[in-house]
Amino acid sequence: MRESLEKMLAKGVDNPLLRFGLGKAWLDEGNSAEAAVHLAVCVQQDPKYSAAWKLLGKAYQLQGDLPAARKAWEDGMVAAQAHGDKQAEKEMTVFLKKLDKAAGNADPVGAG
C-alpha cells in the first residue's frame, strides 16, 4: 500500500489524507523518522487533523524526541477540541499523562 501512495505523491498528488496514509504506513513499518516527515506535512496542510497530530506525537516519541511528541500532542488536543473530536482529545491526554509519569514530572497536563 505504501508504494502506491508514494507513486501518487511522486505524480504530484499531495493532500492531508495522502500524507496521513504515508505517515501511518511508515509508522506501521517501524520507520518513525519517515513517518514524522509525512505527518508533519499533513498537519501543516490541515492543522485540524487530530488523528495526524496523534500519530505525529507517536512518531516523535518512538524517535526519543519527547519534547516534540509533547508539542504534537498538545497541538493535537487543541485541534481535537476545535472540532469536537473527543476521542482523539482523550487519547492524547492519556499519552501526555504517560509521558509526564515516565519523565517523573508531577505537573499535571496543561499546567505550565
Q: Which domains does the chain show, CATH number per domain? A: 2-103 (1.25.40.10)
Write down the pLDDT at residue 97. Answer: 95
Give which of 55, 67, 66 is closest to 31, Cα–Cα: 55
Q: Is 107 exposed, middle or buried (0-12, 13-18, 19+ CB in 10 A)?
A: exposed
Block mean pLDDT (10 aa), the chain, length 112: 95 97 98 98 97 98 96 97 94 95 65 44
Write down the pLDDT at residue 111. Answer: 47
Write down the pLDDT at residue 83. Answer: 87
